[in-house]
Amino acid sequence: MQPTSPTAIRALLDRYGLEPKKGLGQHFLWQAGIVEKIADAAELDGEDVLVEIGPGLGILTAACARRAGLVIAVEIDESLFPLLGEVLQDYHNVRLVAGDARTVDFREIVARHAPGVKRPCKVIGNLPYYLTSPLLLRLLEGEFRAELLVFMVQKEVAERIVAGPGGKEYGSLSVAAQYYSEPELLFTVKPQAFLPPPEVSSAVVRLRRRERPPVEVADEGFFFQVVRAAFCYRRKTIRNALQEAALLEPGDASAVFAESGIAPVRRGETLGLHEFAGLANAILRARERKIGHALRQSN
Ligand code: SAM
């Protein structure tokens, strides 16, 4: 039986002697309509292998299992497993995996539970706040290439993920999300939809992985160093921020800004993805020119 009211959730937890664990962000969704909308957002069909992060009491897991071929649910709190076994007993296409989503090897888990499946996976989760940014970055940057991510996150974080240049929400997370995927904010959810209600509103985001990034960067690692430096020193001009982070030598600055067509007095938070890429590439070219020059002199 699915717990679809606060009273039903409370009764289920009581029966297993459990209390929601604040430290693990355990706010359980009970509004069935919202659960169905989140599951719909993953655009599932019977061929899909879906990884769920944090099944909790299994309400979203069940909604996904009605749509997908296989649901692999990774939960850190093993005390929930007996309860999950009961709630999900009629869903034979669900596998429960004990583990921490920050460190588990998703590729190994999928290979173990869905051997031979070639289609890229999807990932879904109503995420605890503390997990959102590290997990999102891990899933976007890492080797496990899911094609679609659907996450319920704090509304503020959802706004950061989709933000464009110029506003205070725009930051490294926006750039990373938009570099690897096309993120959309689908809808917001009020705290009353959860037990216990969190202090802030939530929102559901969907990130569709891009086949290739929208900008060409010569060195991805360096591109992200430039992005992080720009937002780390938000109040400084981009020139000073890059110098402060020791990414740009003062002697290279005028050539780099002239070549990339970016005014050195701009602040990093006003730069779009193309501008960050142009800047990072221009710095690397300036470094290469210097190395070439030094080599010619030593010969
Ligand atoms: N999916 C359920 C729902 O929608 O009601 C529960 C969502 S609750 C906000 C977050 C869930 O993530 C909890 O079950 C919690 O135990 C689990 N969790 C927290 N940290 C985790 C981690 N590092 N790895 C895997 N699961 C985690």
Given a cut of 80, whether residue 10 has pLDDT beyond it is: yes
- Please tell me the predicted confidence (pLDDT) of residue 113: 97
Does ligand 1 come within 6 angstroms of the Cβ of 109?
no
The pLDDT of residue 299 is 74
Closest CA to 98 of 117, 84, 86: 84
- Atom 14, ligand 1: which residue's CA is nearest? 56
Provide the pLDDT confidence category of residue 255 given band limits of 50, 70 and 90. very high
Q: Evaluate if residue 2 carries a pLDDT over 80.
A: no
CA 52 to chain centre: 13
- Report whether pLDDT(298) > 90: no
Neighbours of 235 (CB within 10 A): 9
Q: Kindly report the CATH number assigned to the domain that includes residue 31.
A: 3.40.50.150
| Contact (Cβ atoms closer than 8 angstroms) between residue 252 and residue 264 | no
95 and 58 within one domain: yes
What mean pLDDT is predicted for residues 147-174? 97
52 lines ligand 1 (CB under 6 A): no
Q: Indicate if 82 and 101 belong to the same structural domain.
A: yes
Distance set, CA 165 to CA 97, 100, 126, 173, 229 (Å): 39, 33, 27, 12, 15
Per-residue pLDDT, averaged over 135-148, amounts to: 95
pLDDT score at 243: 96
pLDDT at 1: 66
Confidence of residue 211 (pLDDT cuts 50, 70, 90): very high
171 lines ligand 1 (CB under 6 A): no
Mean pLDDT, the chain, rounded, equals 96
Q: Is the pLDDT of residue 111 over 70?
A: yes
Higher pLDDT, 297 or 211: 211
Give the position, in ligand 1's atom list, of the atom nearest the Cα of 24: 19
Whether 228 lines ligand 1, by a CB cut-off of 6 Å, is no
One domain for residues 204 and 235: no
3-class SS of residue 3: coil
Secondary element (H or E) of residue 126: strand 122-126
The answer, yes or no, to whether residue 160 has pLDDT greater than 80, is yes
Pair 205, 104 in one domain: yes
Choose one of 209, 239, 254: the last residue of a domain.
209
Residue 238 lies in a domain: yes
Percent of the chain at pLDDT > 70 equals 100
